[in-house]
């Protein structure tokens, strides 16, 4: 208890002492005395208002005030009426240096008056130097050097340096800088204004820079940046983010150790509207035979530079009516050279068409620590963080990067067909060129866009090795896979992800498709021989996709409908052609009992059809339960046709196929053997009996012909097929009349052969699959109220047995015989044309 009272007493004593100190500080008197002809003025004025702060005044011998102005040669004593004047006031100390009427006080700049004699307020020291246009002034900064910051940025310690220049009567802001950077010197002409901002609590008592006299620099300014090791610097043009002065020149000098390499990249820039000249950047690079090297601001900037170099920004004469804004923010990155920076890679794309290769950084989280840059250099000099190479040329590239795994490649190629007569049955390999595989950067995506004429051709993809469809039940484990999706912008159709080592022999797609080879591991280079697809242009068919599958006898084959995560698109039909070997039995199993699809319009069906017997089962997916596991002894089709499903009730289906060897029943074998033996014995007995009868006939005497006059010697007529007369039966009704039989003489060409008339009839699927997939059931028979669209099946037609036959009615002329006819008119085959 005594200890607790002791702690409370100490706490109260601390509060009293702190309050006493603040009272003494608030009542403390300050004296500022400025020497004569020092050209120094002191201004104490209100700062930014503090919320909920009480009013505070400056108390002098005259009267309370909120502003105090002290000139050279004056001495002033004052106090504050509040305990925390740093929350209410700021102080500015400005020294004017005239280098036009007399010599300049060159050398180290002092803080006058000293900070110890000033009240603890946020303070700004300003040095305003006036000089002739022919005189250059140089600000030299001691270590630590300066680091330029952009708008909205602040310095960690609160100490900032604001530097401005002058063009005639116009003030130009060179930039705002913090400590701990690379800027060591700033050279200016016609005067300079330097402002040092110190927070009230900062103990700094030196300016940290000196002023030197230099000859005319004949430009706005020169900023020198010194690198002692690896690092980066971000720099900006004058007046940034406002416009760079018209037709001015600004230069940056970079001092780089000889064992390091430097690269320049533009982070942000804008161009003005020029009437004369052209805005540009110029480099003076050691060892270059074309100094200065001129680049546009939109060009790739130099990189992998050894030694010191200069960068200059040149403005232009701007349009007076619409000048625009020229501004530039760029970064210089200095790092150690890498082994790859001295190696040149040749990428030959001269034989490629409609292809582009992009090398770019991988998406990574940004770090506050210095990270060496990763650059791709074209011709070893033009470097940038990303580079795009186009087809039709040969390119030489190198890399300036400490870790090449930070980069990856993405390639796009388009294979299109505009004339279906030329493209049909042609094939093109889909393989990554060897020039791309030899690069030391990982390939991320290689995408082929395959385009065909609408409603003229379709596509078939045949892999070098059979493919496996990626599913959750059996995911792909290879280093790459193929992503197949529709390339029609208005169609959201993703067929799936496929990798080598499965049972899918080919994939047929109806229209434009995108095939993307995506890698997942660096081992792709070792497995590159397994990649390879061949695309062929085939006759057009109406299904969105057809998969040809030959299951493996050792494992399950998992298959799922396209757009697994989002559901099969509306009114889409997909088929699987599943082959079953003769000595195997296939078991078809579905993952769930119901699909869960709810049709808004139309119906969703599934058809399972045996290819050998043509027997098929039809299931309504929006009503029926999916079939239980079924066994198939022959190859079969699985066709799924979607309706227009309601939102949130999409159609997705997962099924698998397994093969098992056929088992032979011993009872069937015994019955077959016994039946075969009995049949053989019967045949032998029949042969023996026939031989004996033949021998008996040969033993009789020769046959003698005897005339019999009572026998009718006329040839028997063919029995009448129509017991009724022609008038009483329907023999004159024609079920089908062939035009070639009636109008044959009109269809003959000059050579005498018959011309076949062109008839607009339905042609079945003519793809590479030998048997076409089953057609979905007619929608009208199941849902008579559903409206048919152009994407749905044609309306039902009645069966042939119920169709009404066509008839010809003839006038009942007298010369037409009403007798029975022996030969029906339907069997008449005599030509109608002229006799030979």
| Cα 121–Cα 122–Cα 123 angle in degrees, nearest 5 | 100
pLDDT, tens only, 84-117: 899 899 999 999 988 887 777 788 888 888 877 8
Token pair 């900064």 is found at: 141
- Among 663, 683, 698, the domain boundary falls at 663
What was the pLDDT predicted at 99? Answer: 83
> Which segment of 201-215, 487-501, 771-785, 822-836 scores lowest on mean pLDDT?
822-836
CA distance 769 to 432: 28
pLDDT > 50? residue 835: no
Tell whether 3 is covered by a domain.
no
Tell whether 659 is covered by a domain.
yes
Token pair 């469809």 is found at: 469
Residue 650 pLDDT level (bands cut at 50, 70, 90): confident
Q: Are strands 40-46 and 89-98 parallel, antiparallel or unpaired?
A: antiparallel
pLDDT > 90? residue 494: yes
pLDDT > 50? residue 15: no
CA distance 478 to 498: 10
Tell whether 504 is covered by a domain.
no
CA distance 245 to 174: 11
- Helix or strand run (H / E) with residue 346: strand 345-348
pLDDT > 60? residue 23: no
What was the pLDDT predicted at 410? Answer: 96
| Cα 23–Cα 27–Cα 30 angle in degrees, nearest 5 | 135
Tell whether 688 is covered by a domain.
no
24 neighbors 83 (Cβ within 8 angstroms): no
Residue 215 pLDDT level (bands cut at 50, 70, 90): confident
What was the pLDDT predicted at 130? Answer: 87
What was the pLDDT predicted at 27? Answer: 57
Stronger pLDDT, 694 or 278, i.e. the higher one: 278
- Helix or strand run (H / E) with residue 283: strand 280-284
Q: How far are the Cα atoms of 8, 10, 26, 725 from residue 5, in angstroms, in the given order?
A: 5, 9, 32, 139
Contacts of 820 (CB under 8 A, 6+ apart): 720, 722, 724, 725, 726
Q: How far are the Cα atoms of 598, 725, 741, 822 from residue 828, in angstroms, in the given order?
A: 57, 18, 10, 11
CA distance 582 to 107: 100
Give the mean pLDDT of 738-761. Answer: 44
Q: At residue 165, what are phi and psi to the nearest 5 degrees? A: -120, -170
Tell whether 142 is covered by a domain.
yes
- Among 633, 663, 693, the domain boundary falls at 663
CA distance 104 to 733: 126
pLDDT > 70? residue 713: no
Residue 787 pLDDT level (bands cut at 50, 70, 90): very low
- Among 335, 354, 387, the domain boundary falls at 335
Q: At residue 25, what are phi and psi to the nearest 5 degrees? A: -65, -40
What was the pLDDT predicted at 28? Answer: 80
- Number of C-alpha atoms within 13 angstroms, CB side, residue 581? 11
Residue 715 pLDDT level (bands cut at 50, 70, 90): very low
What was the pLDDT predicted at 383? Answer: 79
Specify the number of domains making up the chain.
Answer: 2
pLDDT > 80? residue 755: no
Stronger pLDDT, 70 or 665, i.e. the higher one: 70
pLDDT > 50? residue 291: yes
Q: How far are the Cα atoms of 12, 484, 494, 507, 777 from residue 487, in angstroms, in the given order?
A: 78, 9, 10, 15, 29
- Judged by DSSP in three states, 515 sits in strand
Mean pLDDT of the chain: 79
What was the pLDDT predicted at 368? Answer: 52
pLDDT, tens only, 582-596: 999 999 999 988 888
pLDDT, tens only, 25-77: 445 889 899 988 888 999 999 987 766 567 889 998 878 888 999 999 999 99
Tell whether 555 is covered by a domain.
yes
> Which segment of 443-457, 572-586, 793-807 scores lowest on mean pLDDT?
793-807
What was the pLDDT predicted at 148? Answer: 96
Residue 670 pLDDT level (bands cut at 50, 70, 90): low
CATH code of the domain covering residue 309: 2.60.120.290
pLDDT > 70? residue 726: no
Which residues of 520-645 form beta strands (DSSP E)? 533-539, 545-549, 557-560, 573-578, 584-590, 599-601, 605-610, 616-620, 630-632, 636-641, 644-645
What was the pLDDT predicted at 420? Answer: 87
Question: Counting every residue, how long is the chain?
Answer: 836
Mean pLDDT comparison of 212-216, 340-344, 583-587, highest-scoring range: 583-587
Contacts of 819 (CB under 8 A, 6+ apart): 725, 726
Residue 174 pLDDT level (bands cut at 50, 70, 90): very high
What was the pLDDT predicted at 771? Answer: 53
CA distance 448 to 30: 79
Token pair 């019955």 is found at: 671
Tell whether 599 is covered by a domain.
yes
Stronger pLDDT, 611 or 696, i.e. the higher one: 611
> Which segment of 141-145, 732-736, 796-800 scores lowest on mean pLDDT?
796-800
Give the mean pLDDT of 521-548. Answer: 89
Q: How much of the chain, in percent, has pLDDT values that exceed 90?
A: 45
CA distance 421 to 457: 9
CA distance 668 to 672: 6
What was the pLDDT predicted at 50? Answer: 67
- Helix or strand run (H / E) with residue 739: helix 739-742
Nearest to 265 by CA among 140, 419, 374: 374
pLDDT > 60? residue 298: yes
Tell whether 166 is covered by a domain.
yes
| Cα 602–Cα 608–Cα 610 angle in degrees, nearest 5 | 145
pLDDT > 90? residue 562: yes
pLDDT > 60? residue 314: yes
Stronger pLDDT, 800 or 678, i.e. the higher one: 678
Residue 663 pLDDT level (bands cut at 50, 70, 90): confident
Residue 489 pLDDT level (bands cut at 50, 70, 90): confident
Give the structural domain span for 111.
95-335
R_g (Cα) of the chain, nearest Å: 48
Structure tokens at 833: 């044309």
Say whether the peptide bond before residue 569 is cis (omega within 30 degrees of 0). Answer: no
pLDDT, tens only, 378-427: 876 677 888 999 999 999 998 888 788 889 999 999 999 988 888 888 89
Contacts of 396 (CB under 8 A, 6+ apart): 344, 345, 346, 347, 378, 379, 380
- Helix or strand run (H / E) with residue 686: helix 666-698
């Amino acid at each position: 208890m005594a200890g607790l009272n002791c702690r409370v007493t100490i706490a109260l004593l601390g509060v009293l002492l702190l309050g006493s100190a603040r009272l003494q500080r608030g009542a403390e008197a300050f004296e500022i005395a400025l020497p004569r002809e020092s050209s120094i003025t002191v201004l104490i004025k209100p700062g930014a208002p503090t919320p909920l702060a009480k009013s505070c005044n400056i108390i002098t011998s005259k009267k309370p005030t909120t502003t105090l102005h002290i000139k050279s040669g004056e001495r002033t004593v004052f106090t504050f009426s509040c305990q925390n004047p740093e929350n209410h006031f700021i102080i500015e100390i400005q020294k004017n240096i005239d280098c036009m009427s007399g010599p300049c006080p060159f050398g180290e700049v002092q803080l006058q008056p000293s900070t110890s004699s000033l009240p603890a307020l946020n303070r700004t020291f300003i040095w305003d130097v006036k000089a002739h246009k022919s005189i250059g002034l140089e600000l030299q900064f001691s270590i630590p050097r300066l680091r330029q910051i952009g708008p909205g940025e602040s310095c960690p310690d609160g100490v900032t340096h604001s530097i401005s220049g002058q063009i005639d009567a116009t003030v130009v802001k060179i930039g705002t800088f913090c400590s701990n950077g690379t800027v060591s010197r700033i050279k200016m002409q016609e005067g300079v204004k330097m402002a040092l901002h110190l927070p009230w609590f900062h103990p700094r008592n030196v300016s940290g820079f000196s002023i030197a006299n230099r000859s005319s620099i004949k430009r706005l300014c020169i900023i020198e940046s010194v690198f002692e090791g690896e690092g980066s610097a971000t720099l900006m043009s004058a007046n940034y983010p406002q416009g760079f002065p018209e037709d001015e020149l600004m230069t940056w000098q970079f001092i780089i150790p000889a064992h390091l390499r430097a690269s320049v990249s533009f982070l942000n820039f804008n161009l003005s509207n020029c009437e004369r000249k052209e805005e540009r950047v110029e480099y003076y690079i050691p060892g270059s035979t074309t100094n200065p090297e001129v680049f546009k601001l939109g060009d790739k900037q130099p990189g992998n530079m050894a030694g010191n170099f200069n960068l200059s920004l040149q403005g232009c004469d701007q349009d007076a009516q619409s000048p625009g804004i020229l501004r530039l923010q760029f970064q210089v990155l200095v790092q150690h050279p890498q082994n790859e920076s001295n190696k040149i890679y040749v990428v030959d794309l001269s034989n490629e068409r409609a292809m582009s290769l992009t090398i770019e950084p991988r998406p990574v989280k940004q770090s506050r620590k210095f990270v060496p840059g990763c650059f791709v250099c074209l011709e070893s000099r033009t470097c940038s963080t990303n580079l795009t190479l186009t087809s039709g040329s040969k390119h030489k590239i190198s890399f300036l990067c400490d870790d090449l795994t930070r980069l990856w490649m993405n390639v796009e190629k388009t294979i299109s067909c505009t004339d279906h007569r030329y493209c049909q049955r042609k094939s093109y390999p889909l393989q990554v060129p060897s020039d791309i595989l030899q690069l030391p950067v990982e390939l991320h995506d290689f995408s082929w866009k395959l385009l065909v004429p609408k409603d003229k051709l379709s596509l078939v993809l045949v892999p070098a090795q059979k493919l496996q469809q990626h599913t959750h039940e059996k995911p792909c484990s290879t280093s790459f896979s193929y992503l197949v999706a529709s390339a029609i912008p208005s169609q959201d159709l993703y067929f799936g992800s496929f990798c080598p080592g499965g049972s899918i022999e080919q994939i047929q797609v109806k229209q434009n498709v995108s095939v993307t080879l995506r890698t997942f591991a660096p081992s792709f280079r070792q497995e590159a021989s397994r990649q390879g697809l061949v695309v062929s242009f085939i006759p057009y068919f109406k299904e969105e996709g057809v998969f040809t599958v030959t299951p493996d006898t050792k494992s399950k084959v998992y298959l799922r409908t396209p757009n697994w995560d989002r559901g099969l698109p509306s009114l889409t039909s997909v088929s699987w052609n599943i082959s079953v070997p003769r000595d195997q039995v296939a078991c078809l199993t579905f993952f769930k009992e119901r699909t869960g699809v709810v049709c808004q319009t139309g119906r969703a069906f599934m058809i399972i059809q045996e290819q050998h017997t043509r027997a098929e089962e039809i299931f309504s997916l929006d009503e029926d339960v999916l079939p239980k596991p079924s066994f198939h002894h022959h190859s079969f089709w699985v066709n799924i046709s979607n309706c227009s499903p309601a939102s949130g009730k999409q159609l997705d289906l997962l099924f698998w196929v397994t093969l098992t060897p056929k088992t032979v029943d011993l009872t069937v074998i015994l019955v077959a053997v016994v039946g075969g033996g009995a049949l053989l014995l019967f045949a032998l007995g029949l042969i023996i009996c026939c031989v004996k009868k033949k021998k008996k006939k040969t033993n009789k005497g020769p046959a003698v012909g005897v005339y019999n006059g009572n026998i009718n010697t006329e040839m028997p007529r063919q029995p009448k097929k129509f017991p009724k007369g022609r008038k009483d039966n329907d023999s004159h009704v024609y079920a089908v009349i062939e035009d070639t039989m009636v109008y044959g003489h009109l269809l003959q060409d000059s050579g005498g052969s018959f011309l076949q008339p062109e008839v607009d009839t339905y042609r079945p699927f003519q793809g590479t699959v030998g048997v076409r997939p089953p057609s979905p059931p007619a929608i009208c028979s199941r849902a008579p109220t559903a409206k048919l669209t152009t994407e749905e099946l044609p309306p039902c037609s009645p069966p042939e047995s119920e169709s009404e036959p066509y008839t010809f009615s003839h006038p009942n002329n007298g010369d037409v015989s009403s007798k029975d006819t022996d030969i029906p008119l339907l069997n008449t085959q005599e030509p109608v044309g002229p006799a030979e």
